[in-house]
Structure 1
Amino acid sequence: MVRDLCMFAGHNENTQIAWFKITYSKDPGSLSSIINFMESHEVQTKFGHLDNITQQTGEYSIFTEIGKDVDVDDLARKIGELEAVEKVEHGISEHRMIHLVDFPLNVIGVRGIIARAPTLVDIIRTLNDSAPHAEGLLTLSGLRGGIHAAKYFRNIMPLDDKNFASILAELYRAVGWGILEIDCDPETFEGKIIVKESFIADVYGETDQPVCAYMSGYFAGYLTEYSGKNIRVREVSCKATGHEVCEHIISPAPSGENQEHVITRGVSR
């Protein structure tokens, strides 16, 4: 997942900015053979990222600065001839703007977009101001997102009691949503999640009610999908109401509730 998707790389008339998206087999030493090839051809990597496509193949996407006299098409052909490489896509940034290799952007298994936090918060604010049961709608939306996230991670890596919380925390930091401190007993699924620098609360501004219902729902969906139990999460304090951080309480939902009934604050404002 790439976050720095758009930035000017500076201007050097003697070089060009080119990108390569390389699909390779995950045999021992395969990635290092690609990196060594790039270094031997004096290709300077500005930044890049790795993505796991399957257990057998990976994707190495890099933005490079190379000499103006280098034939990028020919270089891509040579990369494609490496034993470990299955496919190469490439291009040149004509205006020297580093941008996304993939279009559309893929974020945890589905199409994603880059949006300003105020854009998303404006949607939340509009719902809170205009829609009956706004918190319930936001929580339900988050619930579905959290379920998808847990399913995706389970498909690409072992998800267990030792890492389920740290994976969720790493996801939130990676996409810029907030910094999580998770205290959740994997036996009882009771505990709490502290959110520092919540993008919703920070942008929303001062208000008299908690505003991070979407995050509560996301946590509930993720934990419900991971545990196989119906988990309830509710925000008990919010930075937007004057608290230092946002706090969400985790608890098992009453027996017999389905996932949509996990929503605990679906009332009119």
Structure 2
Amino acid sequence: MVRDLCMFAGFNEDSQIVWFKITYSKEPGSLSVITDLLEKENAFIKFGHIDNITQTTGEYSIFTELKKDADMANLAQKIGELEVVSAVEFGISEFGMIYSVDFPLNVIGVRGVMARALTIVDIIKTLNQNVPHAEGLLTLSGLRGGSHAAKYFKSIMPINNNNFESMLAELYRAVGWGILEIECNPETYEGRIIVKDSFIADVYGASDQPVCAFMSGYFAGYLTEYFGKNISVREVSCKATGKEVCEHVISLAPSRENQEYQLRGDTR
């Protein structure tokens, strides 16, 4: 996920923002050993997160604020010499603005990029205004993305009827797409998804028609991959049309229709 991405405001000329990516053994108290050393070295931790690499090892990515004259290489060496640490990487965010521990960014298993919501919405608007069947094309594009996400989740962790909804909701929040409320019956394949603060609807502006076809497709792709059945998702209410939230209805696609056809939706 993009949880190693952060922004620091209020640049201090007397300090520097330094990131460390530390691979450590997940023994009891191992993180405390690392944080204790950083505290002794006057490294103020501003932001950090932990990724589980394997059952025995983890990756601790942190941004620290240190004095301008601090010896980064020496501190990294001290961290690397800890018994619980197997590898250390570090770097400096020169202007303390936006930085990532990793380049390229990795988002659910593949390269990711940062983009303004307006940039993506401009692409959607251009398609809607100039391309026949734009809504269907956007739905199909989302379908592929949602399917890839579900495949990745299944490859790295157990996914079941107890967590498939929360995984999707956490993904949307993490990448800034929106806040989800999901109700989906895994026996009937029916339900609905409420999207609060949809980045598409919020930025798109007023519209006579729902504008989140890409999200409908993403939901359909994710659920289709998880359930192993063709799932149809359509947006029935959109914030861009003046509604309070966006609402997408989930249902099992008619068996006589192939997935590509049933996802195309109405044309504009």
Q: Distance in 2 between matches of 1:210 and 1:122?
A: 16
Provide the residue aligned with 1:53 in structure 2.
53
Contact 2:4 2:100 in 1 (8 A): no
User: Partner amino acid for 1:76?
Assistant: A
Rate the CA distance shift 1:87–1:206 in 2: closer, same or farther, 3 A: same
Deviations 1:149-188, CA, capped at 9 Å, x for gaps: 1122222322111111112112111211111111111111
Is 1:254 paired with 2:254? yes
**Is structure 2 residue 267 aligned with structure 1 residue 268?**
yes
Three-state SS of the structure 2 residue aligned to 1:8 is: coil
SS of equivalent residue, structure 1 residue 89 = strand
Gaps of 5+ in 2: none
| Residue type of the alignment partner of 1:254 | P
Partner in structure 2 of residue 66 of structure 1: 66
Pair 99,210 (structure 1): closer, same or farther in 2 beyond 3 Å? same
**Tell me, what secondary structure is at the counterpart of 1:24?**
strand
Alignment of 1:177-256 (within 5 A): 177-255=177-255
Aligned to 2:7: 6
SS at match of 1:5: strand
Q: CA RMSD in A?
A: 1.9
- With normalisation by structure 2, the TM-score equals 0.92
The answer to whether the 8 Å contact 1:79/1:88 transfers is: yes
**Is 2:151 the counterpart of 1:154?**
no
* Separation of aligned partners in 2, 1:132 and 1:144: 20
Asked if the contact 1:235–1:249 (Cα under 8 Å) also holds between the matched residues in 2, the reply is: yes
Q: TM-score normalised to the size of structure 1?
A: 0.92
1:137, distance to aligned residue in structure 2 (A): 0.9
Distance 1:17 1:125 in 2: 39
- The 1-side partners of 2:143 and 2:132 are apart by 18
Q: What's the % identity of the aligned pairs?
A: 69
Q: AA paired with 1:268?
A: T
Greater displacement, 239-248 / 53-62: 53-62
TM-fit CA distance, 1:258: 4.3
The corresponding residue for 1:28 is 28
Query: 1:38 and 1:124, CA in 2 relative to 1: closer, same or farther beyond 3 A?
Result: same
Partner SS, residue 6 of structure 2: coil
- Counterpart secondary structure, 2:50: strand
Verify the 8 A CA contact 2:200 2:211 in the aligned structure 1.
Answer: yes
Structure 1: state its 5+ residue gaps.
none
Structure-2 residue corresponding to 1:115: 115
Contact 1:141–1:214 (8 Å) recurs in 2: yes
